[in-house]
Amino acid sequence: DEVLGCLYVGASRENAFTEEHRNLIETVSYQTAMALKNARLYEQTQQMALTDGLTGLYTHRLFQEKLSDEIEWSERHNRPFCLVMVDTDNFKTYNDTLGHPQGDSLLKEIAVLLKDKVRSTDIVCRYGGDEFALLLRETLKDDALKMCERIREAFQLRFGGNKVVVTASIGMACFPTDAVTKKDLAKAADDALYVSKRGGRNRVTASPPLEEREDIVQEILPR
């Protein structure tokens, strides 16, 4: 049993409490303890829904909410931001060769690396499997590119000497220069990531501006 707190009941005279009083106090104590325990359980459940159990990063679901909020903020205050997709190259081979426990450890290390490379105001999530997503708040495209390149280099430095070499393919798109809706921004970043992977991996690709994007995407992506 876990001690959740202490309920103190006193009286100014001896033998003030009857058996009925004591039973009532025990009932109140039990109900209070259960209420506290349920509140804590609810808080833990909410936390599990918000953060990935393995890496401690935001979940895909919460990231979608944050992305919507960021678009609203950007439109209201006329401030740019960038969406970055990071894919872990050779992760399946790493998992198959070294085992799932080592794969889990790698994902944890990547989470720490990403949080270390971005600012405290930026948002990092585990997007799914071995893919991560970043929201670089109030960031211009050139600055986002520099940050992405630092992340790519950090991957290579940290994991390039492993038995199975692990690198990062990165795609990024900025709002509102590359897309003006949530759906289109996500697609622009994902298309840029595809170009990085198709181009040999271990590289950074930025989405072209909105007015140029359609023609370029038709050239680089299969129809």
pLDDT at 223 over 50: no
DSSP letter string, the chain: -----------SSTT---HHHHHHHHHHHHHHHHHHHHHHHHHHHHHHHHB-TTT-PBPHHHHHHHHHHHHHHHHHHT--EEEEEEEEETHHHHHHHH-HHHHHHHHHHHHHHHHHHS-TTSEEEEEETTEEEEEETT--HHHHHHHHHHHHHHHHHHHTTSSS--EEEEEEEEETTT-SSHHHHHHHHHHHHHHHHHTTSS-EEEPPPHHHHHHHHHHHS--
pLDDT in tens, 50-59: 899 999 999 9
Residue 89 scores a pLDDT above 90: yes
For residue 120, is pLDDT > 50? yes
What is the domain partition of the chain in residue ranges?
1-50, 60-220
Please identify, in words, the CATH class of the domain defined by 60-220. Answer: alpha beta
pTM as predicted: 0.77
pLDDT digits (tens, 9 = 90+) for 176-192: 999 999 999 999 999 99
- Mean pLDDT within 82-99: 97
